[in-house]
Amino acid sequence: MAEHIAASTPVVADPTPFTLPETQRRLLRWTLYVGYAALTAGIFHGLAQALSYAGIDILGYFPALRSYYQGLTAHGVANAIIFTFSFANAFLPLMVARALSRRLDERLLWASFGTLVLGNLLVIYAVVTNKASVLYTSYAPLQAHWTYYVGLVFVVISTWLALLNMLLTWRGWKRENPGVRMPLLAHISIVSYVMWFLASLPIAVEFLFFLIPWSFGWVERTDPLLTRTLFWFTGHAIVYAWLLPAYVSWYALVPRQAGGKIVSDSLTRLVFILFLLLSIPTGFHHQYTDPGIHEGFKFVHAILTFGVFFPSLITAFSVMASLEMGGRAHGGRGLLGWIPKLPWGDPSLSAQLLAMITFVFGGITGLINASFTMNQVVHNTTWVPGHFHMTVGSAVAMTFMGVAYWMVPYLTGKKLWGRKVALASNWIYTIGLLIFARGMISAGLEGMPRRTFLAQAPYMDPDWLVGRILTGVGGTLMFVGIALFFVVIAMTVWKGKAGEAPKDIPWSETLIEPAKNGWATRLDRIGFWVIVAIILIVIAYGPFFLSYLPPNYVSPGFRIF
Ligand code: HAS
Ligand code: CU
C-alpha cells in the first residue's frame, strides 16, 4: 500500500495554494449565508412539525403562522430548496475555480447571487402571507400566489448561472491548456450541476407554461396529473442535485481530511457520469400509486431506480476504502481498528463521517421505497419523511455543515470558533436524527400518515404512540444540534481570530491516477454523455407523454389552508 500512496495525483491542476480575489470570496460567502438564513427559519418549523407528531402544538407561538401547512411549506422550501441550492451555488463554483486555479466571472457571480436573493424574497413574501401553503411539491390543484412560483423560478435560474460560470471558467482553462485532462475535482463538480440543469427543465416547463399562467388567472384550469408528473420528472433528480455536492466532498476532500487517498480517478468520474445518466429517468417511483400512468411505464422507472442505486453503492465502497487508508495511516490495526483511529476530533470530518453512517440507513429505506410492491405499504406514511431525513436531512445537511467548518474560515480568513461546540453539534444532531427517524419509520409501518397535523387529529392509533414520542424527542435534539451549528458559524464570522484560517481547500490525491488514454478519457466528454442521458430520458418518459398529451385542463385552483 505504501508505495501506491507515494505515487498519487492531486485532484486539482496545480497544488500550489490559490485564492480567489476578495470580491469573489465575499460573494461566495454571502451566497452561503443566504442558505443559513433559510435554514434558521426552517429548523424552527422543523421543531414544530416534530413536536406536533408527539401531540404538542407550538404553532400558536409562531408570529404570522396560520396553518400547519403554511409551516410545513416553509420548512420544506427553506431547508430542502433554499439551503441546499445556496450551498451548492457557492461550493461547486469554488471547487471548479480551485481545481483549475482560475478566477470566476464576477458578473455571473453577482447575477447568480442576485437571482437567488430575489427568488428568496418573493418566496418568503408568498409563504409568510399564507398565500402559498402548497408544500414544497407544489401539487396542483392546490394553488399558490404567483410570487411563489416566480420566486422558485429565480432560484432555479441562479443555479443555471452558477453552472454557466463553471462552464466558462473551464472553457478558459481548456484554451490555455490544450490536450490536458480536466482535473478530477473540476469534472465531478461540473457534472453535478450539468445533471441538475438537465433535470430542472421539466419543472421550468411546469412552472412557466402551467402554474404561473394559472396563478395569474390567464388560464382558469390546469392539469393536475401532468403537472405532478413534470414535478417528479425534476423531483427525483433534485435529490441527487442535493447529494452530489456532498459526494464531491466525500470523494475529493474527505480522504485528505481522514489521512487517506481517493481510490481511483476513473472510477470517481464514472460514478458521476452514471448519476448524469440515471438520476432523471426514475421519477415515476414517486407516482406508483397515481392513477393515469400505465403500470408498464412505472415498472421501467422502478428498474432504472435500482440502476441509480449502484453509483451510490460504488461510492460506499470507494469512500470506505479511502477512510480505511486514513485510519490505518493513523495506526489503526485489524478488521475495524482503523475506525476509532480516524481523526474524529476534526469537526469537519466527524460531521461527514456521521453523515455517511446515517446515509447507509437512508439508502436501505430508499430501496424499500423503490420496490414496486413494498412502496404500497409505506407510501404517504411517515416512513417517507423517515427516509428522507436520513438522506437530505443527514447525508446532505450534515455534509454541508461539515464543509462549512473549513469553508467559512477559508472564505473569511478567520479561525473556526468553538471546535468542541461544533463536535457536540454533530453528535447531538446525529443522535437526534436517528431517534427521530426510528420514530417516523416504525410509526410509518403502522400506518401513521405523513403531512398530517396529528396534534389536532380526531383519530389516533395507539400503536403510533412510541413512534410519535421518538419523533418529538429526536426532532428536539436535531433542533438543538443545528442551533449549536449556527452559534459556531455566527461566532466564527463575528469573533473568529483573523489570519488563522486554512489557506487552501482540503483537496485529496488519487491512488490510481487519471487514465492517459482508453475508455476512461471518454468520461470527460460531458456533451456526449448529456446526449446519452437525453436518449434514456426519451425512452423512459416518451411513451407516457405520447399516450397522454395534449394536456387535460380540468381543474380550477384551490386555496384551502
Ligand atoms: Fe429517496 C422519496 C428512492 C436516495 C430524498 N426521497 C424521497 C423523498 C425525498 C427523498 C425528499 O423509490 C420524498 C419526496 C416526497 O416529498 O414525496 N431514494 C430512493 C432510492 C435512493 C434514494 C432508491 N432520496 C435519496 C437521496 C435523497 C432522497 C440521496 C436526498 C438527498 N425515495 C425513493 C423513493 C421515494 C423516495 C422510491 C418515493 C417514496 C414514496 O412512496 O413517496 C438511492 O439513491 C439510495 C442509494 C444510497 C445508498 C447508500 C450508500 C451509502 C453511502 C455511505 C457509505 C458509508 C460510509 C461510512 C463510507 C446505496 C455512500 C463509513 C464510515 C465509517 C466511520 C466507517
Ligand atoms: Cu426519488
**Phi and psi, residue 263, nearest 5°:** -65, -55
- CB of 357 shorter than 6 A to ligand 1: yes
Q: Is residue 417 part of a domain?
A: yes
| 118 in a structural domain | yes
Taking residue 232's Cβ as centre, other Cβ atoms within 10 Å add up to: 21
Can you tell me which atom of ligand 1 is nearest the CA of 135?
16
Q: What's the gap in Å between 548 CA and the centre of ligand 1?
A: 29
Q: What are the residues whose beta carbon lies below 5 Å from ligand 2 (ion)?
A: 236
As beta bridge partners, residue 509 has: 10
The values of phi and psi at residue 498, to 5°, are -70, 145
Would 538 be classed as within a structural domain?
Answer: yes
Atom of ligand 1 nearest to the CA of 313: 59
- Tell me which residue has cell 435529490: 239
pLDDT score of 1: 41
Mean pLDDT of the chain: 95
**Which of these, 254, 268, 386, lies nearest to 318 by C-alpha position?**
268
| Candidate from 384, 400, 452 with most ligand 1 atoms within 8 A of CB, to mutate | 384
4 catalytic per annotation = no
Answer yes or no: are the C-beta atoms of 508 and 256 closer than 8 Å: yes
Provide the pLDDT for residue 6.
46
pLDDT band at residue 295 using 50, 70 and 90 as cut-offs: very high
Rounded to 5 degrees, φ, ψ at 14 are -135, 120
Structural domain contains residue 267: yes
Q: Which three cell numbers stand for residue 110?
A: 453577482
Distance from Cα 444 to the centre of ligand 1, integer Å? 17
Q: State the Cα–Cα distance between residues 31 and 109, nearest whole angstrom.
A: 9
Angle at 110 between CA 487 and CA 269, to 5 degrees: 80
Could you identify the atom of ligand 1 that is nearest to the CA of residue 375? 41
Nearest ligand 1 atom, CA 395:
31
Ligand 2 centroid, distance to 279 Cα (angstroms): 9
Sequence-distant (≥ 6) Cβ neighbours of residue 398 within 8 angstroms: 351, 352, 354, 355, 358, 426, 429, 430
The Å distance, Cα 235 to ligand 2 centre, comes to: 7
Residue nearest to atom 5 of ligand 1 (CA): 388
Checking phi first, is residue 64 left (phi over 0); if not, alpha (psi -120 to 50) or beta? Answer: left
Q: What is the pLDDT of residues 155-196, one digit of tens each?
A: 999 999 999 999 999 999 999 999 899 999 999 999 999 999
With a 6 Å cutoff on the Cβ, whether 170 touches ligand 1 is: no
pLDDT band with cut points at 50, 70 and 90 for residue 7:
low
Catalytic residue among 450, 453, 548, 561: 450
Q: Is the CB of 322 under 6 A from ligand 1?
A: no
Neighbouring residues of 413: CB distance < 8 A, sequence distance ≥ 6: 498, 499, 501
Strand order in the sheet with 9-10: 9-10, 509-512, 262-264
Measured distance CA(192)–CA(197) in Å, rounded = 9
Count of other CB atoms within 10 angstroms of residue 273: 24
Atom of ligand 1 at shortest range from CA of 242: 31
294 catalytic residue (yes or no): no
* 506: in domain: yes
Residue 8 domain-assigned (yes or no):
no
Domain, as residue range, for 216: 23-548
* Phi, psi at 552, each rounded to 5°: -100, 100
CB–CB of 184/112 below 8 Å? no
The verdict on whether omega for the bond into residue 550 sits within 30 degrees of 0, i.e. cis, is yes
CA of 390 to the centre of ligand 1 (A): 7
Could you give the number of structural domains in the chain?
A: 1
The label of the residue with cell 452558477 reads: 162
d(CA 267, CA 494): 41
Q: Is the C-beta atom of 305 inside 6 A of ligand 1?
A: yes
- Residue 331: exposed, middle, or buried by beta-carbon count in 10 A (0-12, 13-18, 19+)? exposed
The question of whether 45 is a catalytic residue gets the answer no
Q: Within 13 Å of residue 400, how many CA atoms lie on the same side as its CB?
A: 31
The per-residue b/e assignment along 340-372, b for 16 or more CB within 10 angstroms, e otherwise, is: ebbebebbbbbbbbbbbebbebbbebbeebbbe
How confident is residue 259, by pLDDT bands cut at 50, 70 and 90?
very high
Give how far the C-alpha of residue 335 lies from the chain's centroid of Cα atoms, to the nearest Å.
Answer: 32
Ligand nearest to the CA of 239: 1
| Spatial CB neighbours of 171, under 8 Å, sequence gap ≥ 6 | none
Q: Is the pLDDT of residue 508 over 50?
A: yes
- pLDDT at residue 425, as a whole number: 98
Contacts 24+ apart (CB under 8 A), 555-560: 555/140, 555/141, 555/221, 555/222, 555/223, 555/224, 556/141, 556/220, 556/221, 557/140, 557/141, 557/142, 557/143, 557/214, 557/215, 557/222, 558/141, 558/142, 558/143, 559/131, 559/133, 559/142, 559/143, 560/142
Per-residue cell: 58: 407550538
Choice among 285, 286, 387, 468 that is catalytic = 387
pTM of the model: 0.96
SS3 string, 45-77, reads HHHHHHHHHCCCCCHHHCCCCCCHHHHHHHHHH
How is residue 282 annotated by DSSP? T
**Domain assignment of residue 10, yes or no:** no
CA distances from 374 to 368, 440, 452 (A): 6, 17, 22
Q: pLDDT digits over 467-492, tens only?
A: 999 999 999 999 999 999 999 999 99
pLDDT tens readout for residues 412-449: 999 999 999 999 999 999 999 999 999 999 999 999 99
**Residue 141, preceding bond cis, omega within 30 degrees?**
yes
Query: Whose alpha carbon is nearest atom 38 of ligand 1?
Result: 286
379 lines ligand 1 (CB under 6 A): yes
Q: In terms of Cα–Cα distance, which of 226, 336, 346 is closest to 287?
A: 226
pLDDT (tens digit, 9 = 90+) per residue, 361-407? 999 999 999 998 999 999 999 999 999 999 999 999 999 999 999 99
Q: 378, 385, 374: which is closest to 136 by C-alpha?
A: 385
264, containing H or E segment:
strand 262-264
Residues whose CB falls within 8 Å of the CB of residue 466, separated by 6 or more in sequence, listed in order: 439, 442, 443
**Is residue 12 one of the residues assigned to a domain?**
no
Q: What percent of the chain has pLDDT over 90?
A: 90
Is-catalytic flag, 553? no
308 in contact with ligand 1, CB cutoff 6 A:
yes
pLDDT in tens, 299-315: 999 999 999 999 999 99
389 lines ligand 1 (CB under 6 A): no
pLDDT score of 190: 98
Which atom of ligand 1 lies at the shortest distance from residue 80's CA? 11
Please name the residue whose Cα sits nearest to atom 49 of ligand 1: 363
Q: Look up residue 272 and give its amino acid.
A: F
Q: Give the pLDDT confidence score for residue 3 in this predicted structure.
A: 40
User: Does 2 score more than 70 pLDDT?
Assistant: no
Separation between Cα atoms, residue 120 and residue 242, nearest integer Å: 18
CATH code of residue 40: 1.20.210.10
CA 521 to ligand 2 centroid distance, Å: 30
DSSP classification of residue 129: T
Which residues have CB under 8 Å from 533's CB, separation 6+?
A: 195, 198, 276, 277, 280
Q: Is the CB of 388 under 6 A from ligand 1?
A: yes
451 is catalytic: yes
Provide the 8-state DSSP code for 518.
S
Q: Are strands 262-264 and 9-10 parallel, antiparallel or unpaired?
A: unpaired
